[in-house]
Amino acid sequence: MNAEASANGAETYAAAPDGRPDLSNTNVREDLAMAGRCALVHLPTGRTCLLPLRHQGPCEFHRPQEAQDIVNGG
Ligand SMILES: [Zn+2]
């Protein structure tokens, strides 16, 4: 009898679902993400998207002061 099992042939993909190439020059502020915001940071300008998480349309980047107001509970 052949005891070789082929049950472990399942393939799982752990790749991030949001690997958008147009966001390659961005990062995410975790403090803003915890506040339910998109929180994407446009690194060249240092501005942050303050729209809700998974918002429709393009990001709107705001100044760091405005982002800090959100973190502080504003
Ligand atoms: Zn955004």
Query: What is the Å distance from ligand 1's center to 32 Cα?
Result: 11
Q: Which residues surround ligand 1, an ion (CB under 5 A)?
A: 38, 40, 49, 51, 59
Query: What is the Å distance from ligand 1's center to 64 Cα?
Result: 14
- Residues facing 41 on adjacent strands: 27, 48
pLDDT at 21 over 90: no
Structure tokens belonging to residue 58: 């393009």
Query: What is the Å distance from ligand 1's center to 24 Cα?
Result: 14
pTM of the full structure: 0.64
What confidence score (pLDDT) does residue 16 get?
47
Asked whether the beta carbons of 63 and 47 are under 8 A apart, the reply is: yes
What confidence score (pLDDT) does residue 15 get?
47
Per-residue pLDDT reduced to its tens digit, 33-68: 999 999 999 988 999 999 999 999 999 999 999 999
